[in-house]
């Protein structure tokens, strides 16, 4: 059994065949899925997907790209209300993306702090998206020492990985680890402790080899888990068992299957 700890099932790429996509995942042993929110105005759609499929859960949050549109003094309260749903199991994705800077940095920072606040108040894990913003990301976490959660689609340096692990965070690995150029990332996979790693697809983006460039889907979680096993020199079943256990340890509001 595997968990896809981060996908976007509400995106238009899945609008015509979501039943089939969930079936494909189940056939590959990917039986629990977390569909992650990027915009609060999508929450109703995510909630509806989670209510339709037994083992699909969702999160509540605003992507750093969209921070400018949603940052407000009411954001903490909004997050807390939306997260009351029994299948809302995490806060995010949130964080800082200084690669694209689609929202001004100050809005991204304010939004990230508000998510961290909601996450701490609700005792729900935070799902962090960070790109080219290592120092500010860590500084925000240090302002909220109670925060726990995951660096999703981890693709940062070994230093950032160690800093995240030192703060008790999990690292989630996507299809990037299958790319030829990801040698440094595979080294991070090697030293990351087995009890601190998760696996994800970030579907519909980042399809792993041999599907690179096409639509990604949760069934391919298996390919990413196989690559983790190869990088660590262990068997696939060990990766499956551990990443599944880690997911339910962290996202403890979701009942294990």
Applying CB under 5 A, the residues found at the interface with Zn ion are 129, 202
| Least gap, CB of 129 to Zn ion (angstroms) | 3
Least distance from C-beta 139 to Zn ion, angstroms? 20
Residue 126 CB, nearest distance to Zn ion (Å)?
13
Name the closest residue to Zn ion (Cβ).
Answer: 129
**Closer residue to Zn ion, CB minimum distance, 77 or 124:** 124
In the bound state with Zn ion, the residue whose beta carbon lies nearer, of 95 and 114, is: 95
Please state the closest distance from residue 11 (CB atom) to Zn ion, in A: 10
Q: Which is nearer to Zn ion, 66 or 202 (CB)?
A: 202
Write out the two tokens for 187.
């080294």
Give the residue with the Cβ less far from Zn ion, 41 or 74: 41
**DSSP character string of the chain:** -EEEEEE-TTSGGGTTTHHHHHHHHHHTTEEEEEEPPS-GGGHHHHHHHHHHSTTEEEEE---GGGHHHH-STTHHHHHHHHTTSTTEEEEEEEEEETTT--S-HHHHHHHHHHHHHHHHHHT--EEEEEES-HHHHHHHHHH-TT--EEETT--S-HHHHHHHHHTT-EEEE-GGGGSTT-HHHHHHHHHS-GGGEEE---BTS-PPTTSTTS---GGGHHHHHHHHHHHHTS-HHHHHHHHHHHHHHHSTTSPP-
Distance CA 117, CA 115 (A): 5
Closest CB to Zn ion among 132 and 237? 132
CB of 233 to Zn ion, least distance (A): 28
Shortest Cβ distance from residue 106 to Zn ion (Å)? 20
64 vs 219, which CB is nearer to Zn ion?
64
């Amino acid at each position: 059994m595997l968990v896809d700890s981060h996908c976007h099932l509400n995106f238009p790429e899945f609008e015509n065949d979501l039943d089939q996509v969930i079936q494909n995942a189940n056939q590959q042993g990917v039986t629990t899925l977390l569909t992650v929110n990027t915009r609060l105005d999508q929450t109703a759609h995510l909630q509806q997907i989670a209510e339709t499929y037994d083992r699909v859960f969702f999160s509540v949050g605003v992507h750093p790209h969209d921070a400018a549109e949603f940052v407000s003094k009411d954001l903490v309260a909004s997050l807390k209300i939306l997260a009351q749903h029994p299948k809302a199991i995490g806060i995010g994705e949130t964080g800082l993306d200084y690669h694209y800077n689609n929202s001004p940095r100050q809005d991204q920072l304010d939004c990230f702090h508000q998510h961290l606040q909601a996450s701490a108040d609700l005792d729900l894990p935070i799902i962090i998206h960070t790109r080219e913003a290592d120092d500010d990301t860590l500084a925000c976490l240090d302002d909220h020492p109670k925060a726990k959660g995951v660096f999703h689609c981890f693709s940062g340096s070994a230093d950032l990985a160690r800093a995240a692990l030192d703060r008790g965070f999990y690292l989630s690995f996507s299809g990037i680890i299958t790319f030829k150029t990801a040698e440094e990332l595979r080294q991070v996979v090697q030293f990351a402790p087995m009890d601190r790693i998760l696996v994800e697809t970030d579907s519909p983006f980042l399809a792993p080899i041999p599907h690179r460039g096409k639509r990604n889907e949760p069934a391919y979680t298996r390919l990413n888990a196989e690559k983790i096993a190869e990088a660590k020199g262990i068997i696939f079943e060990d990766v499956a068992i551990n990443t599944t256990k880690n997911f339910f340890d962290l996202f403890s509001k979701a009942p294990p299957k």
